[in-house]
Amino acid sequence: MAAGGRDRYSALLRSLQAGQELPLYRRGRAITVDWHPVLWTLVRVAIVVALLYVGVRIGTQWWREARVDTWTGGTGTVQSGVRLADCAVIDVIRVEDFPSWISFEGSVYRYTGWKRPYVGPETPGYRPTGHRNGSMNLVLIENTADGRSRDTILVWLDGALAGVEYARTPECDPPAAAARPPAGAIADSGP
């Protein structure tokens, strides 16, 4: 039963397709795909959204790295940021939620990532300084030798169960602070 030089299978496909031919794969040829206009629009929108996301992400990272925050409250000036000029030890640290460095009492402290249990001002062995930057609080550690000598400090987010330790980084201290002895050391009065 050939219909016009075609076999029965071709006739069946043609009747099922209501007269529209389907592009079939043939050796040596690529499959042609007809894109729906709405699909092309969705692909374009997805590409634009992805490019905007990448642009905003890079822009906010650049802005965050160039910014230096000054903390409020307490006595003295506390500053923090992500990048610190002429300090390679700190420039390799990148943390989303915390600054890479904090300048406190003339010393520079770097993010260590170490956690200490701290649930608020009533936690024994710690003393809040009153310095705040948004929801971050600067806390002095009084229950270890490193904390008492101000070699480590703690940054605590409001409501968290632990704080993040920052270690003193003498190689990044300003020149005047690098010459002074650590807090709690006995100063030599000379001969």
User: Can you give the pTM of this predicted structure?
Assistant: 0.60
Tell whether the model's pLDDT for residue 50 goes beyond 90. yes
How would you classify the pairing of strands 152-157 and 162-168? Answer: antiparallel
| 52-93 pLDDT tens trace | 999 998 887 777 777 787 888 877 788 888 888 788 888 777
Q: In percent, how much of the chain has pLDDT > 70? A: 77
Beta carbons of 82 and 100 less than 8 angstroms apart: yes
Four-residue CA torsion sign, 148, 117, 84, 66 = negative
- DSSP assignment of 98-109: S-SEEEETTEEE
**pLDDT given for residue 173 in this prediction:** 78
H/E element holding 114? Answer: strand 107-117
Query: Which two tokens mark 71?
Result: 């903390």
What number is the average pLDDT over the span 18-43?
A: 69
- Tokens coding 15: 């009747």
